[in-house]
Structure 1
Amino acid sequence: MDGMLSQEEINALLGGMGSEDTSTSNSGTASEQLTNAEKDAIGEISNISMGTAATTLFSLVNQRVVITTPVVEYATWKDIVNSYDRPCVFIQIYYEDGLDGNNILILKEKDVKIITDLMMGGDGTNIDGDLTELHLSAISEAMNQMMGSAATSISSMLEKRVNISPPKASIVDLYENVSGENIADFLKGDFVRVSFHMEIGDLVDSVLMQLYPFDFARDLYQQFIQATTAEPDIPTRPPLETNARKPQTPPPAPAPAQPAPQPAPMPQQQPGYNPYANMGYPNAMPGAMPYMMQPMQDVNVQPVQFTPFAPTMNGVVQPENIDLLMDVPLEVTVELGRTSKSIKEILDFSPGTIIELNRLAGEPIDVLVNGKFVAKGEVVVMEEAFGIRVTEITKQKQLN
Structure 2
Amino acid sequence: MSNGFLSQEEINALLNGEGSQEEEEKKEATDTELPELPDLTDLEKDLLGEVGNISMGSASTALSTIINQQVNITTPVVSVTTLERLKDSFEIPNIALEVKYTSGIVGENLLVMKIDDAAVISNLMMGGNGIVEGEIKELSEIEISAVSEAMNQMIGSAATSMATMFAREVNISPPLSKIWSDLTAPLAEGISDDEPVVLVSFSLNIGELVDSNIMQLLPMKTAKKIVAIMMGEESMDEPSVENNSTPAPIVEEKKSAKAVEAPKQEIVYEKPIEREAPKVEVKQASFEPLSVRESATTMPNNIDLILDVPLQISVVLGRTKMNVKDILNLGNGSLIELDKLAEEPVEIQVNGKKVAYGEVVVVDENFGVRITNIVSSQERIKSLGK
Q: TM-score, normalised on structure 2?
A: 0.50
Structure 1: 4+ residue segments shifted above 4 A: 18-24, 126-129, 227-230, 233-236
Q: In the TM superposition, what whole-angstrom CA distance separates every residue of 1:60-104 from its partner, at most 9, and x where no partner exists?
A: 111111112200011223442233321111110111221111111
Does the aligned pair in 2 maintain the 1:42–1:217 contact within 8 Å?
yes
What is the alpha-carbon distance in structure 1 between the residues aligned to residue 133 and residue 221 of structure 2?
A: 38
Which one-letter code corresponds to 1:206 in the other structure? S
Establish whether residue 52 from structure 1 lines up as the match of residue 58 from structure 2. Answer: yes
Aligned residues: 214
- Residue 235 (structure 1) shift: 10
Please give the per-residue CA displacement for 1:349-376, whole angstroms capped at 9, x wherever unaligned.
Answer: xxxxxxxxxxxxxxxxxxxxxxxxxxxx
Kindly indicate whether the alpha-carbon contact (under 8 Å) linking 2:79 and 2:199 is maintained by their aligned counterparts in 1. Answer: yes
CA distance change for structure 1 residues 212 and 25 in 2, over 3 Å: closer, same or farther?
A: farther
**Aligned Cα RMSD in Å?**
3.1
Contact 1:113 1:127 in 2 (8 A): no
| Match among 172, 176, 179 for residue 168 of structure 1 | 176
The 3-state SS of whatever aligns with 2:130 is coil
1:152-180 C-alpha deviation (Å, 9 max, x unpaired) = 11111110000112221101124333xx3
Q: Which has more radius of gyration?
A: 1
State the Cα deviation string for residues 93-144 of structure 1 (Å, max 9, x = none).
1112211111111111111110011111110124666312212211221111
**Structure-2 residue corresponding to 1:136:** 144
CA distance, structure 2, for counterparts of residue 19 and residue 207 of structure 1: 30
**Structure 1 residues 21 and 160: alpha-carbon distance in aligned structure 2, compared to 1, 3 A threshold:** farther
| Letter in structure 1 aligned against 2:52 | S
Aligned match of 1:14: none
Higher helix share: 2
Alignment of 1:96-111 (within 5 A): 96-111=102-117
Report if aligned partners of 2:108, 2:190 keep a CA contact under 8 Å in 1: no
Task: Name the CA distance, whole Å, in 2 between partners of 1:228 and 1:185.
Answer: 23
How far apart are residue 38 of structure 1 and its match? Answer: 1.4
Task: Return the alpha-carbon distance in structure 2 between the equivalents of residues 56 and 33 of structure 1.
Answer: 32
CA drift of 1:184 comes to 3.6
Tell me the percent identity: 39
Tell me the alpha carbon deviations over residues 6-35 of structure 1, each in whole angstroms, 9 at most, x when there is no partner: xxxxxxxxxxxx999868634524xx3222
Report if aligned partners of 2:84, 2:193 keep a CA contact under 8 Å in 1. no
Residue 225 of structure 2 corresponds to residue 219 of structure 1: yes
Structure 1 unmatched runs, 5+: 1-17, 237-400
C-alpha contact 1:192 1:213 (8 A) present in aligned 2: yes
**Unmatched 5+ stretches in structure 2:** 1-25, 237-259, 264-386
Change (3 A) 1:102 1:202: same
Shift, 1:40, TM fit: 1.3
Aligned-partner SS, 1:186: coil
Deviates more, 1:126-135 or 1:205-214: 126-135
Q: 1:159 to 1:24 in 2, by over 3 A?
A: farther
| Residue in structure 2 matching 1:145, options 133, 136, 153 | 153
Matched, 1:208 2:214: yes
The residue number in structure 2 matching 1:94 is 100
Give the TM-score taking structure 1 as reference length: 0.48
**In structure 2, distance between residues paired with 1:48 and 1:160:** 16
Q: Residues 312-335 of structure 1: CA distance to partner in whole angstroms, max 9, x if unpaired?
A: xxxxxxxxxxxxxxxxxxxxxxxx
Q: Is the aligned partner of 1:124 residue 2:130? A: yes
